[in-house]
Amino acid sequence: MYERKETPGQVRSALLVSNSTNKELEVSMSPRLDVSEERKNQILEAAIAVFARLGFDQSRMEDIAGQAGLSKGALYLYYKSKDAIVAALLKYFFAQEFKLLQTFVEAHQEGSVTEQIITLTRQLVQAMQWMARMMPIAFEFYALAGRDQEVRQFLKQYYQDYRQELAHLIERGIEQGEFRAVDTQAAATSLVALYEGLALLFFVDPEANQWAKQVETSIHFFLEGLRQRAFS
């Protein structure tokens, strides 16, 4: 068989064309990353709307694709199932919540820790008002964690990190003489349990009680237990 041989000049020309083409591809493809993230957010917003309207069980991938203005095939390029969408929503929400806590703790290095915890709790209440629209899938978060090892590991790490930030806050209260000496990890775990328990009550029956008021009452009970006692 005849084998075509290229001259050194032809090889150099081919490499120049190839490099030029690759650079053009890099330039043309780089914005796609931003488009991809924007598209994912668009899909997640559409999913929340569909879940709210139809409920999780009755929602289909076709419904989400239609709400997002995409074909079903295009949707599957980003998310392969409803579980994958719920996992993405869970990770996004919890990552944002932890970022809020981390930023709050870093920004409040001075002043009353008691007041800071009360302010943080009020921010949680505001976040729960936003989360109300996600009620149709709230329980799917925990159901998914039960059957998906990756999601379960994500939640485990999230709660460890969240508890650690709260422990730092409580430790500062002890150092300032505002709180009595306690096991900061145990106290932080109790605070996380308080938040999560009240959030669960909110999702089960948001109209059964004045949730925001109950959170304020509960956090004051918690802080009263931490407060340094004056000896008479």
Domains of the chain with CATH codes: 8-78 (1.10.10.60), 82-226 (1.10.357.10)
Q: State residue 216 phi and psi, 5-degree precision.
A: -60, -45
Please give the structure tokens belonging to residue 35.
Answer: 């488009």
Q: Kindly report whether the global pTM for this prediction surpasses the value 0.75.
A: no
Which has the closest alpha carbon to 168: 217, 120, 229, 123? Answer: 120
130/124 Cα distance (integer angstroms): 10
Q: How far is the C-alpha of 170 from the C-alpha of 186, rounded, in Å?
A: 10
Residue 128 clears pLDDT 60, i.e. is over it: yes
Is the predicted pLDDT of residue 209 greater than 70, yes or no?
Answer: no
- Look at residue 205 in the predicted model and tell me its pLDDT: 74
Longest dimension (CA), the chain: 105
Per-residue exposure over 49-85, b if at least 16 CB sit within 10 Å of its own CB, e if not: bbbbeeebeebebebbbebbebeeeebeebbeebeeb
pLDDT band at 60 (very low <50, low <70, confident <90, very high): very high
At 100-117, the pLDDT tens digits run 888 888 877 788 999 999
Residue with tokens 């488009």: 35
CA distance 152 to 147: 8
